[in-house]
Amino acid sequence: MQPVARLVLHHDVERLAELAVPRDDIVGERAVTDRAFEAEHGPFRRYRRVLTADGPQVTEEIEFELAIPVWGRLFAPLVKRALRERRTDPPWWSPPERWDAHTAEVVGLLAVVTVIAGYLGTLITQTITFAADEFGSSDRDQGITLAAVRVGVLLALVVVAAADRRGRRGMLVGSSVAACLLAATGAAAPDLAWLGGSQTLARAMSTAMAILIGVIAAEVVPRNSRAYTASILAMTAALGSGMAVWALPLADLGEPAWRLLYVIPLVGVPITLAVARRLPESRRFEASRERPPVRPNPRRVWLLAASGFLVALFVAPASQFQNEFLRDERGFSAARISLFTLSTNTPGGIGVLLGGRFADTHGRRRIGAIAMAGGAAATVAMYLATGWPLWGFSVLGAVVGAAAIPALGVYGPELFPTASRGRTNGLISLVGVVGSSAGLLAVGILADELGRFGPAMALMAAGPALVALLILVAYPETAHKELEELNPEDAPLR
């Protein structure tokens, strides 16, 4: 339970008439008396504003408790400032469209589970170079293992397809618990094949988590906030990934010490169960439960699937081989890799936040195309650079490329009807995994043959370049539209 925040302001009595009008900014108020107001709409579990006139002065006292679980303490100071300033336009940090308490609570809970998914999604990436050293494996072996791990998306497809029939909530909770338990088995791996097999199953469950989180988020938030929500979830996923990086220096304790990172996911089990007690089922799923399955638009499926394949050709090896590149080609220790990753990737949060806001206010296509092409170019430059340009290009690639995450990540949930949203996004993810595997195999082989990663990454960058072109010429604009407007097959949400 969060503490109740309190704000006391003093005004000249001449402002009493102005202050006695219900607010309609970060909170939508209703009058209880002529001097007391409660929240009619807004992200509050509890809210009350009271005016007291005393001679030449009016005291305005506001008490509130945000409906945002876990993260509410972070937002409370920002909300205080917004309440003090009484601005009618949304603050830079808030969604473009005001949320109600239900939306704030659900997104807050999803963000908690996203942290777990982020850690699980990057675990083998961060540790495989150390595991390969213990097992005496080559770059080619690492590429094959990382590619094989992605085969788990086939199982993820089964899970998300079941979510279209049985509900989002139960499948999300089940896949999260299973992912944590399966990931932990990697701590006992006797060889690279065992590690790859255990993490194939764990990655399947964490992939299902990521898909279902995106689907639920798109179904619960207002139409002008879907990209913003994607940016918030992307940042919490990055927080989870960052936790794996923070823990990476443990690998310097000894050759088998990388195994400690596989024990940490066990903490995610009780966290998931706590979230499950408060997370409701998607209202849009409930509304579509009795409707028959709807075949998704095949053109949209092919468009997003082809884009996912081309992007994954580049993104997967760029992220998966970064530690190997830094360690073998640039001589970084585990601690220095951790410092590099945190210091150059953390600014990517700026790109994620700005990309989400601009995608909601100015449209997805232009932001997505610029971010896609610019991020790939900077990342290639990073793989070719040494010294301080290596760090600089990594920061640039993180900031610019991150803007594409919310701008384009919302298309999957947006472009397909509720009854097939999970299954279709699973299929698109499957094609993306094929692209990931192809990119990992190609870059792993080329890096062994050429003795360096830079030229191989430059070749793979053709994928994002083609996607940037596709976005401009073939993608529809989905900003400011309800999901039912984009998918007329769905029943209107009442």
Residue 494: the pLDDT is: 62
Mean pLDDT of the region 89-95: 87
* pLDDT surpasses 70 at 491: no
Q: How far is residue 318's CA from residue 341's CA, in Å, rounded to a whole number?
A: 13
339-378: pLDDT as tens digits: 888 888 888 888 888 899 899 988 899 999 999 999 999 9
pTM score? 0.85
User: 408 by DSSP, 3-state: which?
Assistant: helix
Least confident of 61-75, 301-315, 415-429, 463-477: 415-429
Express each pLDDT in 159-180 by its tens digit: 998 998 888 999 999 999 999 9
User: Mean per-residue pLDDT for 385-411?
Assistant: 91
Cα–Cα nearest to 96, from 413, 349, 356, 350: 356
Sorting pLDDT into bands at 50, 70 and 90, what band is 300?
very high
Task: Give the closest residue to 408 by CA, choosing from 161, 168, 214, 206.
Answer: 214
Query: What's residue 83's pLDDT?
Result: 93
State yes or no: pLDDT of 202 exceeds 70.
Answer: yes
Best mean pLDDT range from 90-94, 173-177, 477-481: 173-177
Both tokens of 333, joined, read 């220790």
pLDDT over 90 at 331, yes or no: no
- pLDDT (0 to 100) of residue 329: 87
User: Mean pLDDT over all residues of the chain?
Assistant: 89
Over 70: is that where the pLDDT of 332 sits?
A: yes
pLDDT one-digit tens code per residue, 256-276: 888 999 999 999 999 999 999
pLDDT band at 296 (very low <50, low <70, confident <90, very high): confident
% of the chain exceeding 90 in pLDDT: 50
Give the C-alpha separation, 12 to 20, whole Å.
13
pLDDT at 59: 93
Question: Band of the pLDDT at 1, cuts 50, 70, 90?
Answer: low
pLDDT of 287 over the 70 cut:
yes
Rounded CA separation 421/320 (Å): 28
Residue type, 380: V
Confidence (pLDDT) at 464: 94
Provide, rounded to the nearest whole percent, the portion of the chain with pLDDT above 70. 98
Give mean pLDDT, residues 227-239: 91
* Token pair listed for 78: 């920002």
pLDDT top residue among 63 and 138: 63
With tokens 């700026």, the residue in question is: 350
Residue 144 above 80 pLDDT? no
Q: What are residue 212's phi and psi, to 5 degrees?
A: -65, -35
Predicted local confidence at residue 264, as pLDDT = 93
Q: Residues with Cβ < 8 Å from 350, sequence gap 6 or more?
A: 399, 402
C-alpha–C-alpha distance, residues 214 and 110, integer Å = 9
At residue 246 the predicted structure's pLDDT band, cuts being 50, 70 and 90, is: confident
